[in-house]
Amino acid sequence: MNMKRVGLLGCAVALVLGLSQVPLEATWPVHELVVRGEGVCGTAGPVGRYTLRWTVVNPEVNGETTIVSATESGAYEGTVSIEPNPLPAGANGTGTDGPVAGNTTGAVTLNVEYVTAGQVRGQATGELYLEGNCVVPES
């Protein structure tokens, strides 16, 4: 064997060994969803009540992303339906929950589990704080 063939064979072996270290699953650039929330006070009834409004932002790079679950915990517990679902790339989804008693105080966390277009699973959380001061004004 001449030196040129030995060199080419060595390169081929190095390439095959190097590629064997690459994971079989596709790598997909994923950015965590952004979750924002606000407690909106409503005083149209006999008592004050909060409505919890959530926004989930899907970065463009994720592609279409499916929300698997959106669960609230903390001062209020529940589940939220985020629409649209799946979220298009670069789009916002929204969901609401409530009514929540106007004297509720503390943090409410929304945990969102999702799957991106590249089949990458992820979790994102957002938080809002209820002051407990949502009351009907005295006349």
Q: Give the pLDDT of residue 2.
A: 57
Which tokens in the block code for residue 115? 């799957």
Whole-number mean pLDDT of the chain?
83
Pick the more confident residue, 18 or 137. Answer: 137
Measured distance CA(86)–CA(82) in Å, rounded = 9
Q: Give the pLDDT of residue 138.
A: 79
* Radius of gyration over every alpha carbon of the chain, rounded to an integer in angstroms: 25
> CA 42, 105, 70: angle at the middle one, nearest 5?
80
Q: Does the pTM exceed 0.85?
A: no
Q: Which domains does the chain carry?
A: 34-131 (2.60.40.10)
Q: What is the pLDDT of residues 27-85, one digit of tens each?
A: 445 678 999 999 999 987 788 999 999 999 998 888 899 999 999 999 999 999 999 99
Measured distance CA(27)–CA(24) in Å, rounded = 9
Q: What is the pLDDT of residues 45-58, one digit of tens each?
A: 788 999 999 999 99
Helix boundaries (H) for the chain: 3-19
| Contact indicator for 86, 65 with CB cutoff of 8 Å | yes
Q: What is the pLDDT of residues 6-27, one digit of tens each?
A: 444 444 444 444 443 434 344 4
Which residue from 113, 112, 105, 110 is spatially nearest to 130, judged by alpha carbons?
105
Q: Give the pLDDT of residue 96.
A: 97
Q: 53 forms bridges with which residues in the sheet?
A: 38, 96
Q: Which residues contact 53 (CB under 8 A, 6 or more apart)?
A: 37, 38, 39, 40, 94, 95, 96
